[in-house]
Amino acid sequence: MGSAAQQKPRVTEADPAFLEAVSVALKRYRDKEKVRDAELAQRLGVSTSALSKYMNQKQLIGGATLARAFTELGITVTYRGKEISVRAAPEQVSFSFDSPCLLEERSDHVMVTIKRKEPQRAQVLVQVKVAE
């Protein structure tokens, strides 16, 4: 077995369009934030040499570095007409019902009434806004 320092050869070549998309996104971030390459490299957790290779489309950016670019720096990459980015997931609330519940729809809201063993009664008011 090889050591961890040895890398397997790439089976496929890096897509030049992806290399370019990452390069453009990194340069756009650098210019917008008005930071030097050394500062951007530090934010990404890579050397300035590695950053230079990404920006000059000489090296494919690694997964962990790309994840930091998305999550910590908010970088968006436009690749093949699609925007690749990270956004915060909306808060979700879920309920499990062991007994039947009543759903009442009104013009301004939806009301869910959950009935359990009497005299306990829980009422949940849910308002739903449909995006246009």
- pTM to 2 decimals? 0.60
Q: What is the mean pLDDT of residues 50-57?
A: 96
Q: How confident is the model at residue 93 (pLDDT cuts 50, 70, 90)?
A: low
Q: What percent of the chain has pLDDT over 70?
A: 58
pLDDT at 68: 93
Structural contact between residues 44 and 69, judged by C-beta atoms closer than 8 angstroms: yes
Other CB atoms within a 10 A radius of the CB of residue 9 amount to 4
Q: What is the mean pLDDT of residues 85-92?
A: 74
| DSSP helix/strand/coil, 121 | strand
Q: What is the mean pLDDT of residues 48-67?
A: 95
Give the domains, in start order, of the chain with CATH numbers.
16-84 (1.10.260.40), 94-132 (no CATH)
Structural contact between residues 48 and 38, judged by C-beta atoms closer than 8 angstroms: yes
The pLDDT tens digits of the residues spanning 13-46 come to 889 999 999 999 999 999 999 999 999 999 999 9
